[in-house]
Amino acid sequence: MTVRWAGGRALGLRVRLVLVFALLGVTTTAVVASVSYIQARTVILQQAQDAAAVSLTDQLAKVYPIRELPPTQEELETLAQQLSNRESYAVIVYRDMSTGNAAAPEPLTPQLRQAVGSGVVAWQRVSRDGEPVLVIGTQLRLDRTDGASVPSGLEVYSVRSLAPEQQSIDRLATFAWLTGGLSLVLAVLLALLAARGVLRPVRELGQAARRLGEGDLTTRLTVRGADELADVARTFNDTAGTLERQVGELRRMEADARRFVADVSHELRTPLAAMTAVTDVLDEEADRLPGDAGRAARLVSQETQNLTQLVNDLIEVSRFDSGTARLALDNVDVAAAVTATLRLRGWADRVRTELPPGVVARLDPRRLDVIVANLVGNALRHGAEPVSVRLRAEEDWMTIEVDDHGPGLDAQVLPHVFDRFYKADTARTRSEGSGLGLAIAWENARLHRHAGQPGSLVAGNGPTGGAVFTLRLPRVAADPAGSGGVR
């Protein structure tokens, strides 16, 4: 039960909450960090470019006035050195002549050359051996008195490394990643916290519901807070309370009904005893009574006997229900006891027996008699002969099997065979039995206990089709004191 919660499901509430929180946190951080990163990068690069442009303009002012054109290679080199400083170095181009190492071409793209050739200051960021550099280029033009200017043919390119800017930007990126990671951790922690807050009441509710389902009607939840989950807990408590009250009411009513049956049965015993005495006399006289009167007398006698049987059975059943049924234990030779039961009922000739002698058991002989009589009587009435009774003994238990050769028990009937007043054949509302025989036999079997295990009575169908009732009783039944057979 707890394992199920602790382990969580593939995508339980906790996982979903964590996922949503993490996604939210990461998305927000990613957007904010990206925007500020891009913004900061733009500003940093812009500043670097502007500074480089201003610095180049300042330096170029020193080049003028130009006194001689075209320049020699040496003059170009000198000029390049003049224009180079700690942060940048200059490349001077005059037509197809240029400073710098011919083996390592300067990072001047044709596009940049073209833009510079059109007479404007142009710059471009390029990657040189993986290092970002900024190249600013301009023509050197010559002012004229008429306000126009002519190109001197000289072009100056200032190459400046952007490594410091790259470092600053990388630091920004590192910081952004760090922020993202931290926010992810924070989001997961928050999600776990939220999940715990939500899941604890849910888990408690689940456990309480399970306890209630297992029959503990006194289960209640502690209502905390005033949120939806508290509402659920309150509703649960109300439901459990109502259920407890109603079940209590039902139990009380059932107990009342049982007591009523027991009382009625007891009250009926005395008049029935008197009636039985009268019908005994009537029975003797019945043969001498003419026609209808004789039949009526026999009918009254028969029904009185049935009624007496029913009332006795009812009293027996109420004893089981109230838990007052007790065993009167005695050492019994089982084979002899069964034989006696059959002989007493006049069934000895109709039943085949396999009763190994010498099986002695300590049990209630009266109840054994009731069980066997019920089973055999049932088999003779509803099944078909031959009916056989077999006794088998084990170390601690013994088994008595009663089977017939009738059609067997219907699959629909089977689960209800031991129900009270259950009639397998609904068309025959009046049966010879009280309808309580098998129920009483079942209760009697369960009353015998050994090592905490009750005896049993099981109904089934044999391989040849007949019904088979298997009675299993302990060889030594426990002392019944205190061990009631409450159903």
**Residue whose pair of structure tokens reads 């710059």 in the numeric block:** 123
Q: How far is the CB of 180 from other proteins (least distance, A)?
A: 9
Query: By CB under 8 A, which span of 125-133, 290-298, 440-448, 460-468 interacts with other proteins?
Result: 125-133
What's the closest the beta carbon of residue 143 comes to other proteins, in angstroms? 5
User: What phi, psi does 471 have (nearest 5°)?
Assistant: -105, 130
Number of residues that bind other proteins (CB under 8 A): 60
* Preceding omega of 415 cis (within 30 degrees of 0): no
**H helix or E strand, kind and range, residue 179:** helix 163-213
Q: Which helix (H) or strand (E) holds 38?
A: helix 13-61
Q: Which is nearer to other proteins, 38 or 253 (CB)?
A: 38
Among 55, 141, 289, 433, binds other proteins (CB under 8 A): 141
Give the shortest CB-198-to-other proteins separation in angstroms: 18
State which residue, 171 or 259, has the beta carbon closest to other proteins: 171
Least distance in angstroms from the C-beta of 183 to other proteins: 14
Q: Residue 162: how many CB atoms within 10 A of its CB?
A: 21
* 3 state DSSP class of 196: helix
State the nearest-atom distance from the C-beta of 136 to other proteins, in Å.
9
* Closest CA relative to residue 363, chosen from 482, 480, 487, 481: 480
> What's the closest the beta carbon of residue 36 comes to other proteins, in angstroms?
13
**Taking the CB of residue 315, how many other CB atoms lie within 10 A of it?**
16
Closest CA to 367 of 305, 448, 474: 448
CA distance 242 to 249: 11
State the amino acid at position 454 in one-letter form.
P
Member of 76, 79, 106, 123 binding other proteins (CB under 8 A):
123
Here's the x/- map for other proteins, 60-89, by CB under 8 A: it reads as xx-xxxxxxxx-x-----------------
**For other proteins, which residue of 13, 30, 329, 336 counts as binding (CB under 8 A)?**
30
Closer residue to other proteins, CB minimum distance, 96 or 214: 96
Q: 332 phi and psi, to 5 degrees?
A: -125, 135
Of 153-192, which residues contact other proteins (CB under 8 A)?
Answer: 153, 156, 162, 165-166, 169-170, 173
Among 43, 120, 189, 328, indicate the residue that binds other proteins (CB under 8 A). 120
Residues numbered 40-59 forming contacts with other proteins, rule: CB under 8 A: 41, 45, 49, 53, 57
Residue 33 or 445: the one with the smaller Cβ distance to other proteins is: 33
| Residues 428/413, Cβ–Cβ less than 8 Å | no
Cβ nearer to other proteins, comparing 136 with 471: 136
Contact 77, 93 (CB under 8 A): no
Shortest Å, Cβ 47 to other proteins: 13
Burial class (CB in 10 A: 0-12, 13-18, 19+), 102: exposed
- Asked if 28 touches other proteins (CB under 8 A), the answer is no
Nearer to other proteins, 114 or 331 (CB): 114
Q: Pick the binder of other proteins from 140, 334, 438, 467 (CB under 8 A).
A: 140
Least distance from C-beta 29 to other proteins, angstroms? 11
Q: What are phi and psi of 381, to 5 degrees?
A: -75, -50
Select the span of 143-151, 363-371, 426-434, 467-475 touching other proteins (CB under 8 A). 143-151
d(CA 365, CA 371): 10
125 vs 211 by CB, closer to other proteins: 125
Look at phi and psi of residue 384 and say left if phi exceeds 0, alpha if psi is from -120 to 50, else beta.
Answer: beta
* Inter-CA distances, 101 with 91, 392, 459, Å: 10, 115, 109
Nearer to other proteins, 40 or 413 (CB): 40
Q: How far is the CB of 75 from other proteins (least distance, A)?
A: 9
> Nearest approach, Cβ of 184 to other proteins (angstroms)?
12
Give me the amino acid identity at 280. D
Rounded to the nearest 10°, the torsion over CA 163, 165, 168, 170 is: -60
DSSP state, 414? G
**Binding residues for other proteins (CB under 8 A):** 11, 16, 30, 34, 38, 41, 45, 49, 53, 57, 60-61, 63-70, 72, 95-96, 109, 111-112, 115-116, 119-127, 132, 138-146, 148-153, 156, 162, 165-166, 169-170, 173
